Structure 1
């Protein structure tokens, strides 16, 4: 298991081999053994296999090709709807129409998603995490017919790999590890910790092709711009209000 975790890769191209139903169920059953707040399991997983449904989902993920190519797409949702219904049917008044409850359910959903990813990779499958889910949550809600109390948190495509890409770089462990209390970073430490990432040929090319001076500028000015972050933040807050979490 440690080897699987240390050697994992993001897979964006898949063969046309279907995922056997017993394999998929085994993976999902492993997923739902994840830790969960108060043993409430306030999440749901929507499985998409149908080509017509993939066509509808694809624009919600900026038409990234893996959504339609992968045999299975999994949408992990924060879900208090089911728990609320259970409470109401048992003379209990739910008090989960608030931001804290959304965060609780979102954490639950992400823990399950990670379990599913590791289980899938242990079966020889490849996965790709789609960060577009929260950007386009309102559109995904419409496509998947998610009721009040349910918000999509992340999406994972799943299939047998049709590529063997290089492993993506990560910061060294010392960059993210703090002993006992948080120790803030000096300028010298920041330079050292990001030096390898900045020196990679693909990142040097990334800077050049975007007409920037530094890799950091690619992130702030091109990939994750302030204006976009503010736009999607406002949009997501609207979704939370519409779905009963605000």
Structure 2
């Protein structure tokens, strides 16, 4: 519980190496995550080589932790392995559709979260990167991912070189609904976001970006509609090119 409640995203790392033994133990813990039908619809590409990380960095918008962390993991939804097994056993696989893309993404996400918790239990720091979904075709090419494999998330991993504060979260009352979903009235929304909007960091984001409120920072600066549409079309095209009927 302490590990979960004290989670921080680590973006600066010491140069200390992570041993093969420790990394393998962490990855083994990842495989103990829940998985669809015990099919383990995921794979991970481990990148340690400095030159390889440098080649990946632009695909992750040159975020510093890509090259600074001693270990960089690309976690993928992987239907290729299971489909190949079915093919070799004369079993007619029907796993090339939306349902199994979603199942693979869920499996990969659970695997990734177990990895993160295991790493933090060893005193390591981690940071999730959502960029694989933005630049999936480029990452597929860089990592030589076959048909049926889609990069879902990436994780930088190493010994922390800073100790950031805890990131704010919405109150539990905003997240939990009992028995049925409770309507998000204007009053409830204002109550949910009041504390977040009152943070000094939020006020700084608003001022730096010349916006009227924090919501506009998200919609107009961080995750713009035009960008969302562009990357959505790019991702859908990639999923189809990876052999899924969408």
TM-score tier after normalising by the smaller chain length: over 0.9
Between the aligned partners of 2:183 and 2:213, the Cα distance in structure 1 is 22
**What does the per-residue CA deviation read over 1:89-132, in whole Å, with 9 as the maximum and x for residues that have no partner?**
00111111111111111100000000000000000000000011
Structure 1 position 189, deviation (Å): 1.1
> In the alignment, does 2:209 pair up with 1:214?
no
> In the alignment, does 2:140 pair up with 1:141?
yes
Equivalent position of 1:109 in the other structure = 108
Equivalent position of 2:183 in the other structure = 184
Structure 1 position 20, deviation (Å): 1.0
Equivalent position of 1:10 in the other structure = 9
Between the aligned partners of 2:85 and 2:52, the Cα distance in structure 1 is 29
Equivalent position of 1:82 in the other structure = 81
Between the aligned partners of 1:144 and 1:177, the Cα distance in structure 2 is 39
Between the aligned partners of 1:184 and 1:226, the Cα distance in structure 2 is 25
Alignment partner of 2:10: what SS? coil
Equivalent position of 2:99 in the other structure = 100
Equivalent position of 2:18 in the other structure = 19
**What does the per-residue CA deviation read over 1:138-190, in whole Å, with 9 as the maximum and x for residues that have no partner?**
11000000000000000000000000011110001111000011111111111
Between the aligned partners of 2:171 and 2:45, the Cα distance in structure 1 is 35
Alignment partner of 2:91: what SS? coil
Between the aligned partners of 2:183 and 2:224, the Cα distance in structure 1 is 25
Equivalent position of 1:62 in the other structure = 61
Equivalent position of 2:161 in the other structure = 162
Equivalent position of 2:119 in the other structure = 120
Structure 1 position 60, deviation (Å): 0.8
Between the aligned partners of 2:199 and 2:130, the Cα distance in structure 1 is 23
Between the aligned partners of 1:128 and 1:114, the Cα distance in structure 2 is 11
Structure 1 position 50, deviation (Å): 0.6
Between the aligned partners of 1:228 and 1:102, the Cα distance in structure 2 is 22
Q: CA RMSD in A?
A: 0.6
Q: Say how many residue pairs are matched.
A: 245
Equivalent position of 2:195 in the other structure = 196
Alignment partner of 1:181: what SS? coil
Q: TM-score, normalised by structure 2?
A: 0.99
Structure 1 position 52, deviation (Å): 1.1
Runs of 4+ that moved beyond 6 A: none
Unaligned 5+ residue runs, structure 2? none
Alignment partner of 2:128: what SS? strand
Equivalent position of 1:224 in the other structure = 223
**What does the per-residue CA deviation read over 1:19-49, in whole Å, with 9 as the maximum and x for residues that have no partner?**
0111111100000000000111111011000
Alignment partner of 2:9: what SS? coil
Alignment partner of 2:62: what SS? coil
Equivalent position of 2:235 in the other structure = 236
Taking the TM superposition and a 5 Å limit, the aligned residue runs for 1:34-73 are 34-73=33-72
